[in-house]
Structure 1
């Protein structure tokens, strides 16, 4: 769960910045500052290398962004005598030394010693019952005047003590470069002057890599998505909306996939995430009802008044992935994610004197800059497009995910 944006909103009031309604741009400056540990720790019943993230608050005027906590010592203790150590891998991310899974009827707690030697302990948490996802599916709906694809989730029947649910998703989408060409122009033998009779006599080509044609983007959800079956007429989740995608969103242009993760969590965890959701959902940095600090279940062993941001959560998890295309709905194909104007430039110079404004020279400068790609030619005209329109690998990955289905 990536809560850093919401944590930062909490920190704005935590460090003493006045919460004001602002209509003009301003430069935020820290008035007072508290160095606070931020913990993101969810242990699940998946047999895997478990992950914990540590960072610290930072001053508003610091341009480096998140202040990751490295050099900490993290140990997960189970009431069955199990001990799981974690090691720092990168950017405040700690992975368990060995894969493991949380199990029923075992109580867990986390101990953290930060890089300065301060010690922190969590409350004891146990694994809730497991509830599988029954179905993930889509419908074309109109929400607040916008037509789009709504991704829903249904769960199976839940045990009596499984009442609180949190959802995350991992989405991926395919990108096919709008103006991919199988050739690129070789510039090493470019001549200063050309002839109108033999326009392309010195224009050489090499094959363009196929990897520049089709690419993929993978990204994780950032919103907090929580719900409960309390007060419902049935003991399961039905038609719960997880992700809404506008019909005009470019992620639907070629092919889209979403992996929905369902976490069964405790009442305390549910309350914590609900508060964070209320703080973060209006899209504003300054929230009138901002309480300033949301206490979780992580505490300093040495100073009970020390603030720690975050929550140690033990959850059962179920997941399901689906794929779909825009053609499955009554919508038009979304536009490409970049503006792709095709420029036509005259490759043949008219003879000396050569001007820097000659289209031939403009063509050379554009192609040699790396910001444009060759798109084609017609008689003495060469067509070029912005880099992102002819080479999707300039902004996305050309590696096809192992799970991808076309």
Structure 2
């Protein structure tokens, strides 16, 4: 029975995707370095400090730095303590916001007794985003899609150094959602066949919401310009055939005003790669931040203790308002029917049961149920009939239809 089920699952997988041979990569000259990723802002909230270790390219991901003692010191007198809310993630015990004119310093001690401290930094001037807006554009590679742009202006000319990140949320509607699921109502040893029936499929599988965050470093320097103004800065581009813009899309853009020193750090960081994963991967050379070891001057630390003022805006976009005439994202959702072949009816029913139990497919029929009560055993890939494979069913609090 076990071998037969394995063959069934392999058969299901072969209908859904091709096989890819793994390519093994090994890292040489690896250094185990503490990684500090944090930005303290002028928002009243529980601030966060993320601590991990660099990892090899062949590893699954970074190792969380657990059991550390973390605090942020304000004006060398007020201490904000942090507690570990999840492995490697430290949240301030109390809410606080960085204030102008005050100095902030990060202090931490790892579980093995090593101590680290940052330079003292101050909060830059706050500058609000003027507007975020979408626009249909053609990118440098000739692809059409939706661009997200930002305008901002500081009449005092004191901001100058900006960093942008965004979080996307989009609605997912499976193309072959069906109101009923197929279930087994009678099976067991000694039977010649199984009984099947239908139950209502949960409405929570019909519409879902998925998130995506920016994975590049977008920085802008207006110091050499005549005025501290940014116009038409493209912070994101979504190809017309991307799932994110298949239906309804929202993006929250956050603007950080940062110091000249922080700008220099992120400039160097972005020159290595377009991915912020370099906060967790060792790169050629070493990017020096503003955090040092108090125990050993040769002990490297990757990261920067940043204090920034933040402004943010959110917009919603419907695909039909910009990209209605362009090809859109389409899932491969062929309907397939398991064949009985030369086996017995019981073996065929066991095959159908194993299809259902695999949770990789969903029942779907493109014809009404037959009046005689017989059941057409037809299926689609789960992603085609169940949106929870791509997102969550509960709409975010900010979502507007």
Please tell me the TM-score bracket, short chain as reference. 0.7 to 0.9
2:328 maps to which residue?
334
1:267 maps to which residue?
260
Residue 384, structure 1, aligned to residue 379, structure 2 = yes
CA positional deviation for 1:374: 1.3
CA positional deviation for 1:156: 3.2
| 2:161–2:260 CA contact under 8 A, matched in 1 | yes
| 1:127–1:314 CA contact under 8 A, matched in 2 | yes
| 2:172–2:390 CA contact under 8 A, matched in 1 | no
**3-state SS of the aligned residue for 1:239?**
strand
Counterpart CA distance in 2 for 1:113 and 1:294 is 21
Residue 280, structure 1, aligned to residue 277, structure 2 = no
CA positional deviation for 1:282: 8.8
Residue 318, structure 1, aligned to residue 311, structure 2 = yes
Counterpart CA distance in 2 for 1:50 and 1:93 is 10
Provide the aligned length of Structure 1 versus Structure 2.
365
Match for residue 43 of structure 1 among 16, 40, 43: 40
Q: Which runs of 5+ in 2 are unaligned?
A: 1-21
**3-state SS of the aligned residue for 2:198?**
strand
| 1:187–1:368 CA contact under 8 A, matched in 2 | no
1:6 maps to which residue?
none
Counterpart CA distance in 1 for 2:268 and 2:60 is 28
| 2:209–2:393 CA contact under 8 A, matched in 1 | yes
2:68 maps to which residue?
72
CA positional deviation for 1:281: 2.7
**3-state SS of the aligned residue for 2:364?**
strand
Counterpart CA distance in 1 for 2:129 and 2:391 is 31
1:8 maps to which residue?
none
C-alpha distance 302-98 of structure 1, shift in aligned 2 (>3 A)? same
Counterpart CA distance in 2 for 1:158 and 1:261 is 20
| 1:129–1:159 CA contact under 8 A, matched in 2 | no
CA positional deviation for 1:107: 0.9
Match for residue 214 of structure 2 among 200, 208, 221: 221
Counterpart CA distance in 1 for 2:35 and 2:271 is 19
2:400 maps to which residue?
405
Residue 160, structure 1, aligned to residue 157, structure 2 = yes
Residue 205, structure 1, aligned to residue 198, structure 2 = yes
Matches within 5 A, 1:82-121: 82-121=78-117
CA positional deviation for 1:134: 0.8
TM-score with structure 1 setting the length:
0.83
C-alpha distance 245-368 of structure 1, shift in aligned 2 (>3 A)? same
Point out the more displaced range, 250-259 or 158-167: 158-167
Point out the more displaced range, 156-165 or 144-153: 156-165
CA positional deviation for 1:181: 1.1
Q: Which runs of 5+ in 1 are unaligned?
A: 1-23, 195-201
C-alpha distance 311-221 of structure 1, shift in aligned 2 (>3 A)? same
Q: What do the CA deviations read for 1:111-168 (whole angstroms, capped 9, x no partner)?
A: 1111111111111100000000110001111112111100000113343221100001
**3-state SS of the aligned residue for 1:322?**
strand
Counterpart CA distance in 1 for 2:297 and 2:394 is 48
CA positional deviation for 1:353: 4.9
Q: What do the CA deviations read for 1:19-53 (whole angstroms, capped 9, x no partner)?
A: xxxxx9553143x4433111012100000110110
Counterpart CA distance in 2 for 1:217 and 1:101 is 29
